[in-house]
């Protein structure tokens, strides 16, 4: 007889406690191999394909697309063993029956391989997701659905669930809210099954926005930050970039040149490439520069990380910025792409603004902000001229250094922007 193994939503790291099912990749009756992705979920960090550590026949799926599940909730059950497959499908090897052991994070193992997706007759009948027994007569399995209803004043007892055995899903609550907000005929009685306080729209602080809010709040609570800024003449930097791109080959971005300047500046002022260990009462200076950068996407602000940026030239930095930005906009960044940064480069000039005093990306110690590069009157060579001017700002953790160090870092960055030869002399 086959052994039925239950695979639960794994811990996706970074303190994430729930994920939303975006798309099922398998159906009941499909044959799956070890580490084959079975579901695509969305967390507050990224979209993740979750592989199953067991090989065999899918006998049940738990949760609907659009439903949020807490970590540890059942995802699927798989019948493993030679008897699990029909004559149409080969028996799962013994290694598959034992499982890969890959129960954390859910990225698959190095030996993962694609499996043919085929419909077979499962040994057991299709199983519906059971409804958890909760206090009271209302069938709700997810605490997140309860919270959504509570935040919007929804009476769950008035709803009919669309899930298995009347399970109330997130979609049911949202449908009730939509019905309430729809225009009602003047003479028709209001029969909406929910009641919302007349105090404006309430938007749950969850997902990406919730994660950003928590991180920024922690930064404000823990980090005594300060900001200094300077205007710089970027005309020579822009001319240097134009000359580099004129010779052919991959194009070099302005962000890549600024990143290269940052890594050179951090080599001179390593205090700013550090973090504070509150528990130990120590400042930890970090040996490598893992450069975070802000990328605006439809899902909100993402901050991918370029690993070992100090070892990359402008061409390599340009390629990595482009790769990570594309993944961010497609919602395909992994949690590993979004963690481990040691210093942030924030180009808010793309929004058409000159300056900002950003909040430090906890637990980093500093962030360099870059405004728009715009033609302005500037004294150059003792005469008034029109030059390409940019405002640079540095927000830093005052615990790791004093104003002299921060000012020295920012002045060096500005000098390199105004005269790229300064950077060449320091290499």
Residue the block writes with tokens 């550090």: 274
The Cα–Cα gap between 203 and 174 comes to 12
- In the residue annotation, 402 being an active-site residue is answered as yes
In 3D space, the residue among 147, 151, 171 whose CA is nearest the CA of residue 160 turns out to be 171
Bridge partners of residue 61, in order along the sequence: 76
Burial class (CB in 10 A: 0-12, 13-18, 19+), 25: middle
Q: Which of 11, 308, 402, 415 is catalytic?
A: 402
CB atoms within 10 A of CB 289: 22
The Cα–Cα gap between 168 and 337 comes to 35
Give rounded-to-5 percent helix, strand, coil for the chain: 30, 25, 45
Q: Which of 30, 354, 398, 415 is catalytic?
A: 398
Burial class (CB in 10 A: 0-12, 13-18, 19+), 298: exposed
In 3D space, the residue among 271, 299, 295, 266 whose CA is nearest the CA of residue 402 turns out to be 271
The Cα–Cα gap between 77 and 163 comes to 18
Q: List the catalytic residues.
A: 398, 402
């Amino acid at each position: 007889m086959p052994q039925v193994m239950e695979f639960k939503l794994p811990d996706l790291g970074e303190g994430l406690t729930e994920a939303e099912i975006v798309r099922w990749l398998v159906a009941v009756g499909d044959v799956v191999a070890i580490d084959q992705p079975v579901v695509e979920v969305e967390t507050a960090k990224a979209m993740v394909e979750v592989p199953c550590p067991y090989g065999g026949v899918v006998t049940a799926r738990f949760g609907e697309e659009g439903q949020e599940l807490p970590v540890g909730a059942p995802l699927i059950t798989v019948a493993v063993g030679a008897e699990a497959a029909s004559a149409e499908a080969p028996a799962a090897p013994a290694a598959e029956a034992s499982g890969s052991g890959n129960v954390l994070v859910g990225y698959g193992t190095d030996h993962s391989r694609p499996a043919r997706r085929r419909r077979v007759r499962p040994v057991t009948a299709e199983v519906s997701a059971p409804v958890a027994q909760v206090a009271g007569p209302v069938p709700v399995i997810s605490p997140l659905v309860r919270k959504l209803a509570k935040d919007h004043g929804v009476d769950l007892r008035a709803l009919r669930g669309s899930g298995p055995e009347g399970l109330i899903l997130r979609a049911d609550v949202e449908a009730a809210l939509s019905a309430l907000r729809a225009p009602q005929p003047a003479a028709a009685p209001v029969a909406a099954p929910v009641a919302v306080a007349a105090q404006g729209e309430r938007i749950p602080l969850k997902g990406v926005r919730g994660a950003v809010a928590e991180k920024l709040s922690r930064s404000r609570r823990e980090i005594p930050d300060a900001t200094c800024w300077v205007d710089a003449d970027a005309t020579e930097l822009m001319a240097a970039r134009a000359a580099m791109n004129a010779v052919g080959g991959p194009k070099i971005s302005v962000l890549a040149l600024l990143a290269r300047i940052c890594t050179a500046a951090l080599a001179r002022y390593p205090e700013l490439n550090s973090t504070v260990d509150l528990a130990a009462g120590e400042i930890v200076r970090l040996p490598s520069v893992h450069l975070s950068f802000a990328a605006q996407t439809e899902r909100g602000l993402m901050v991918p990380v370029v690993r070992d940026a100090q070892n990359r030239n402008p061409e390599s930095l340009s390629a990595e910025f482009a790769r990570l930005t594309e993944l961010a906009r497609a919602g395909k960044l992994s949690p590993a792409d979004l963690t481990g940064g040691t210093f942030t480069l924030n180009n808010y000039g793309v929004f058409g603004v000159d300056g900002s005093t950003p909040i430090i990306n906890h637990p980093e110690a500093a962030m360099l902000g870059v405004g728009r590069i715009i033609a302005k009157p500037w004294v150059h060579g003792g005469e008034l001229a029109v030059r390409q001017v940019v405002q640079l700002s540095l927000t830093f953790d005052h615990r790791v250094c004093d104003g002299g160090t921060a000012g020295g870092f920012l002045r060096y960055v500005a000098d390199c922007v105004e005269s790229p030869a300064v950077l060449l002399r320091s290499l």
